[in-house]
Structure 1
Amino acid sequence: MPKLVIIGAGSAVFTQGLIMDLIATQGGEPWELGLVDINGEALDTIAVLAQKMVAGKRAPITIAASTDRKEILPGADFVVSTIGVGGRRAWEADVFVPRAYGIYQPVGDTVMPGGISRAMRMIPALVDIANDIHDLCPSAYFFNYANPMASNCTAIRRATPVPVVGLCHGVHDSLRSLAGELGVPFDDLTAGAVGINHLTFVYQLRAAGRDLMPELRSSIARRRVRGIDRDRIGALAWTDGGEEINPFSWSLFETLGAYPVPGDRHVTEFFADVFPGGDYYGKRLGVDAFPFEPVIESGDRKYAQMTELARSGAPLDDSFFGRFTGEHEQLLSIIDSIRTDARRIYSVNVPNGSAYSNLPAGAVLELPALAGANGIMALPFDNFPDTIAPVIRRHLDIIDLTVEAALTGDRRLMVEAILAGGYERDRSRVSAMVDELLAVHAEHLPQFA
């Protein structure tokens, strides 16, 4: 019986969606599902809800839950991390502290000071998890969904022997969106897409062998001709169901010949110098362009809804089981491809190796990889455009500084990582901001004690 363990299972949406996928795809095969979260209240909530889900569909899934992962990890075949050290309150500090210094972040979980600060909390916890996997279930596959993806996976690979694989739905969802825009079936689409998680460049796009890049260029040109709805610029399309507008990504495509995904909300953070003071087409990033606070409020609301469903004595109605899309969607397909040696291709975050010779061999890149019985292997197409490689290499250097700062507890390297990004060029202001971030997160930063 295969065993899947979710660490950070108290996530309001991910775990529910993954359990739904498992119920829908396991085909009557018994599974063990282990749920782990250090927040006992969140763990109890998701464990009760998981049991209700399994009972509602009479699925042969056995569930165990514990705040101690060492009780759950033995015998695991697949381990998934969705942890968020400090939760949404810590995430708020990653955005609000830099905002006080004039640095505006729409997300704050990947790069910029918020992403760097987040890495300081996440990396020690993930390294500890990886070491426990190595000791207690060394043959298990370890999948990480926690951000900042590239920094986290680089640190795990550097500090432990565990070959973690990073997963994100950004490329998958963006390709689906592009297929819709171009009027082609998503299943016919193939792409060359390489970069750093949240800055991955689609440099080849085909449907049934037909080159779609000229059609994408024409589609964007038509959008510009008919005009852009200013009210939609910076809107959170995934919350209101409206049209997604990515004028900066369009501009990069027109300049570089490759389309950056997953859209301006993330991509702009890699080009902070283009948006001084957060100025984004007449709006301010994280405030009225891709506003940050509603994202936090949505997470709090979804957690409250999960708690209410778990505490209700009523069984789940059928409408509940059709709700979930998101990060979890590809995981069970990847697991199936490994177990059946189907050798399907996915976008994953793994070391480059020799796949792309114009990017560092040891760098964790988001790239196409094959999932089969021999594991997950980067596909060595070696055709990433030389014109874009310097953009990626610049951010890989910042990631290296970030990882070393987190692993060693070196405050000076954290300062240097922020300065290297050009988010703020005054060293004294960066130093003060770092001190403030380290102070507000002190309980989660044992390496800086």
Structure 2
Amino acid sequence: MKVTLIGAGSREFAGKIVRDLLLSGPIAEKELEIVLMDIAAEPLAEMETYTRQLIEKLHHSATVSSTTDLVPAVSGASFVVTAIEVDRYHYWSQDFTIPRKYGFKQVYGENGGPGGLFHALRQFGPLLEIARAIESHAPDALFLNFSNPEHKVCEAISRLTSVKVVGLCHGYFAGVKQISSLLDIPSEQLELPAAGINHFTWFQEVRDRATGEDLYPRLRERERDANWVSDWHEIGLSRILFRRFGLWPSPSANHIGEYISWADDYVPAQLQYFTDPGEGSPWRDGAETPEWHYHIGAVDTDRPLHAPRPIVSLEDQPLESSEELAIPIIEWVACGVERPLPAVNIPNNGAIPGLPDEMVVEVPARAENGRLVPLQMEPLPEGIFAMIRLQGSIHKLLVEAYVEQSKEKLLQAVLLDPIVDNHNRAVAMVDEFLELQKDALPPLK
């Protein structure tokens, strides 16, 4: 069984997937061939060395090789697992900062908001190149994608190619931990089906797995009694959404807030890419990309003024499985071992009533004949449905903008976004993005 990892120079992504692969009992019974692929040769070589050390340490029978060439990497693969970005933090700092410069109160700027649209446009080309290589050289392979923005890139791939693509993210599990903490009930005792789009899913039920008891009434009581400022950075926005719309959202405030025009009031200290405007553009020649921070609550404020952010080596990572769903999917599809798949990004095909079949949604799924099939979900409440349906239109317009090389379609998508509240500033923002990121964006007419 050939498993190809693209983006294998990433310590976090590739290290995690390699450990998950080699720690899987069912996969160990296969003749596992791991192929590592990246365009960056030096970190790729480091990852190959690390993988060989793990294979030896675990007395595993797997083989590993590496390449910088896409076609041999994917040829004959059973599974292709991908997490790629080009100059991630450089461009992400722009995705976050530029909309705010034009007065749009964008949160985070990774998957939603105007920044998320430009992030997706930069990702479409490289990911479609991978998808078309799979289409030609491994047509039966399952494409497991971790590259953001999940829903947008998976929709482009599923609309424009015949590849079986699945988007994966651990955001669902953050919401599970929040509900478990509020209820003071271990997460394994909870039944928590959720539906929506990536980084904007909603738990349709909260039940005791053993008794079937509806725990939503208890969750409402516990939330009402909770201290407002406890874990504010993660769940302050979730709590107000829960009160207004009736379901608990996932994963956390900075992700959910990307889709909501008024989220800025509930996502404090937008420090993510702080720069001093008096110093000029942070992207001028010779300037360093601003340092990224997940949110103010995660910042090490005790770090000495001039100390660099510490880097954890591969060898220091614990040898344990992650909660990522790539390996459970491989175990089910290739080994026949059924695993819970509570959150995957695939075309809707009727799973969430009322949404277009081709719209990529995040829902539970099961494996059937080498594909993932979404489970049937309950209709979403109208308010939640309206927010998600709008994102579906934005995604569709963005894919059309890419295919048609149309600036007009891109502007339509931008102007539909809830964060955008002014036409003239939106046009100026788009023009600045197109100029600043012209080396990474597709041509638009």
Higher helix share: 1
Local SS of the residue matching 1:445: coil
For these two proteins, the number of residue pairs brought into alignment is: 415
Match of 1:441 in 2: 437
Match of 1:221 in 2: 224
The answer for unaligned runs of 5 or more in structure 1 is 235-244, 310-315
- Distance verdict in 2 for CA 1:219–1:292, change over 3 Å: farther
String of CA shifts for 1:263-292, please: whole Å, max 9, x gaps.
211111110x214xx44476447479xx98
AA at the equivalent of 1:214: P
Match of 2:174 in 1: 173
Q: 1:432 aligns with which of 428, 431, 435?
A: 428
Q: How does 1:311-350 map to 2 (within 5 A)?
A: 316=315, 320-322=317-319, 325=322, 329-346=324-341, 347-350=343-346
Measured after TM superposition, the shift of residue 261 of structure 1 is 0.4
Match of 1:404 in 2: 400
After the TM superposition, which of the residue ranges 393-402 and 53-62 deviates more from structure 2? 53-62
Q: How does 1:382-397 map to 2 (within 5 A)?
A: 382-397=378-393
Local SS of the residue matching 1:194: strand
After the TM superposition, which of the residue ranges 434-443 and 133-142 deviates more from structure 2? 434-443
In structure 2, how many angstroms separate the alpha carbons of the residues matched to 1:91 and 1:24? Answer: 33
Q: 1:265 aligns with which of 254, 258, 265?
A: 254
Alignment RMSD (CA, Å): 2.7
In structure 1, how many angstroms separate the alpha carbons of the residues matched to 2:438 and 2:156? Answer: 20
Match of 2:161 in 1: 160
The answer for unaligned runs of 5 or more in structure 2 is 275-289, 300-307
Q: Assess if the C-alpha contact under 8 Å between 2:253 and 2:266 holds in 1.
A: no
Match of 1:312 in 2: none
In structure 1, how many angstroms separate the alpha carbons of the residues matched to 2:419 and 2:178? Answer: 31
After the TM superposition, which of the residue ranges 120-129 and 44-53 deviates more from structure 2? 44-53
Q: How does 1:174-323 map to 2 (within 5 A)?
A: 174-207=175-208, 208=210, 209-223=212-226, 226-229=227-230, 233-234=232-233, 245-271=234-260, 273-275=261-263, 278-280=264-266, 283-284=269-270, 286=272, 293-295=292-294, 305-306=312-313, 316=315, 320-322=317-319
String of CA shifts for 1:309-353, please: whole Å, max 9, x gaps.
6xxxxxx4xx64347746xx2211121122233443411111111
In structure 2, how many angstroms separate the alpha carbons of the residues matched to 1:421 and 1:184? Answer: 37
In structure 2, how many angstroms separate the alpha carbons of the residues matched to 1:249 and 1:176? Answer: 13
String of CA shifts for 1:8-50, please: whole Å, max 9, x gaps.
1122301111111122114643411111112223322322322
Question: TM-score, structure 2 length as denominator?
Answer: 0.85
AA at the equivalent of 1:255: R
- Distance verdict in 2 for CA 1:136–1:382, change over 3 Å: same
Q: Assess if the C-alpha contact under 8 Å between 1:94 and 1:117 holds in 2.
A: yes
String of CA shifts for 1:123-149, please: whole Å, max 9, x gaps.
121111111101101111111111111
String of CA shifts for 1:210-265, please: whole Å, max 9, x gaps.
21111211111111xx4425xx533xxxxxxxxxx412211111121111100211
> Percentage identity across aligned positions?
31
After the TM superposition, which of the residue ranges 160-169 and 413-422 deviates more from structure 2? 413-422
- Distance verdict in 2 for CA 1:63–1:374, change over 3 Å: closer
